[in-house]
Amino acid sequence: MHPPRLPAATAVLVALNVAVWLLQVASGVPPLHPPSASLVAWGGDVPLLTLTGDTWRLFTAMFLHGGVGHLAMNMLALAFTATRTQDEYGTARMLVIYAVGGILASCATVRANLHDPVGLVTVSVGASGAIMAQFGALLTALVLVPPRFAHLPPDKRPGIDQGLIQVVVMNVALGFIVPHVDQAAHLGGLFAGMVLGAVMAAVPTATSARAALARHGIAALLLTACVSALLHGAPRQQMMVQRVLWLGQLGAPR
């Protein structure tokens, strides 16, 4: 028996994450325990840098990992969640949930560390926030009707998936137990995914270009509002001085 194949969009997401790790290793970054300076150079989410001009780190951090073990665990989880989300919501909506949910998870990390001197210069990387957004969307699908089941009568639609709920609870609980886990990203991604799932499940039978544009436009507005609120709530001038000093100590470009 051949193992089940990943849907194309899910396979591309996994391939992108693996490709970035391979490029890091090819450039000389240690495959098991990359140093903080390397992760910063490749686009890790450091709140101090993100809030002082490097907003793009909210996105790039989603494709970086702290070693091959971190990558392997996240890719296994991604293969499960993205495949199922793609099956329930469709390819385009799954990709929106992944990208927007992942960035909002990064925003949650930055916001949680805004007034923490240590957290402000901690490097956060990984796809786990985007993965938790997939979990959040799947939880929403237990309540609302995703596109896949919109044509079925209510009595034929799936009921509560206890296995999914157990997996989500276990992942959240592990975040409180296992050290060095970015729990802010996990919870932020989970909540963002639930909201995005509601947006993507709205009027599930509407598949026209106008309906798709409306859904994706709402997701873009939500993302813009959250990122703008994050940036405007930070003491930017004070942080610019901290940025120069910290990068000098780290030996990274300013």
Report the C-alpha gap between 138 and 189 in whole angstroms. Answer: 12
Judge whether 186 counts as a catalytic residue.
yes
Q: Could you give the C-alpha distances from 133 to 75, 83, 193, in angstroms and in order?
A: 14, 13, 4
Residue of 128, 151, 208, 216 marked active site:
128
Helix (H, G, I), strand (E, B) or coil at 241: helix
Cα dihedral sign for 94, 97, 99, 105? negative
Helix (H, G, I), strand (E, B) or coil at 17: helix
Residue of 65, 106, 124, 186 marked active site:
186
166: region left, alpha or beta (phi > 0 left; psi from -120 to 50 alpha): alpha
Judge whether 216 counts as a catalytic residue.
no
The number of CA neighbours under 13 Å toward the Cβ of 144 is 21
Amino acid (1-letter code) at residue 114: L
Tell me which residues are annotated as active site.
128, 186
